[in-house]
C-alpha cells in the first residue's frame, strides 16, 4: 500500500483514540476493510502508539500556534490530523513538507475546505519553529 493510505488509516485510529477507543490496526479491518502489509502495519503502529505516548506534548505544540482557538474548540478530525502530522514532523524521517501536504489532503477529505488553510497554517508555524531550533 502507498504511504498516504497508511497515513489515512493511522489518522482514523488516532481519531478513534480521541473518543476512548483502543486504536489498533485490527480495527482497520473491521471499520474500513483495510488490511495493511507489514511495512504499513509498522508505520501505523508506530504513529498511533507515538501519538498516544506524546499526546500532551503534541497538544502543547499545537496549542502554542493557535490564535483565538483552544485545543478543546478544534474539531476532533482536525485535532487527529494535527497530532499525526506533528508527531511525524518531530519523530520520523518524513520531511515536514510531506507531513504538512498529506495533513492538508486528509483535512480536505475528512474535514472541511475551510479547515485546510487553518491546518496548513498551524503546521507551517510548527515547522518553522522546529527549523529555528535545529
Q: pLDDT for 89-109, tens place per residue?
A: 999 999 999 999 999 999 999
Please count the structural domains in the chain.
Answer: 1
CATH number of the domain within which 115 lies: 1.10.940.10
pLDDT at 4: 81
Q: How confident is the model at residue 34 (pLDDT cuts 50, 70, 90)?
A: low
pLDDT at 115 over 90: yes
37: left (phi over 0), alpha (psi -120 to 50) or beta: beta
125 vs 47: CA distance, rounded Å:
21
Helices (H), 19-114: 25-32, 38-53, 55-63, 76-91, 96-110
98 or 44, higher pLDDT: 98
Per the prediction, the chain carries an average pLDDT of: 88
Range of the structural domain that residue 97 is part of: 3-133
- Please report which confidence band the pLDDT of residue 1 belongs to, taking 50, 70 and 90 as the band edges: very low
Q: What is the mean pLDDT of residues 14-23?
A: 78
Q: State pLDDT tens for residues 47-94.
A: 999 999 999 999 999 999 998 889 999 999 999 999 999 999 999 999
113 grid coordinates: 475546505
- The percent of residues in the chain predicted with pLDDT above 90, rounded, is 63
* Residue 25 confidence (pLDDT): 55
Amino acid at each position: 500500500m502507498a504511504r498516504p493510505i497508511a497515513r489515512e488509516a493511522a489518522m482514523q485510529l488516532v481519531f478513534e483514540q480521541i473518543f476512548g477507543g483502543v486504536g489498533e490496526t485490527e480495527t482497520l479491518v473491521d471499520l474500513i476493510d483495510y488490511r495493511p502489509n507489514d511495512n504499513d502495519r509498522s508505520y501505523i503502529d508506530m504513529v498511533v502508539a507515538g501519538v498516544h505516548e506524546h499526546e500532551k506534548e503534541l497538544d502543547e505544540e499545537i496549542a502554542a500556534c493557535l490564535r483565538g482557538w483552544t485545543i478543546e474548540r478544534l474539531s476532533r478530525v482536525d485535532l487527529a490530523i494535527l497530532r499525526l502530522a506533528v508527531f511525524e514532523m518531530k519523530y520520523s524521517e518524513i520531511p515536514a513538507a510531506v507531513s504538512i501536504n498529506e495533513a492538508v489532503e486528509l483535512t480536505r477529505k475528512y474535514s472541511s475546505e475551510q479547515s485546510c488553510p487553518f491546518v496548513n497554517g498551524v503546521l507551517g508555524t510548527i515547522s518553522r519553529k522546529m527549523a529555528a531550533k535545529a
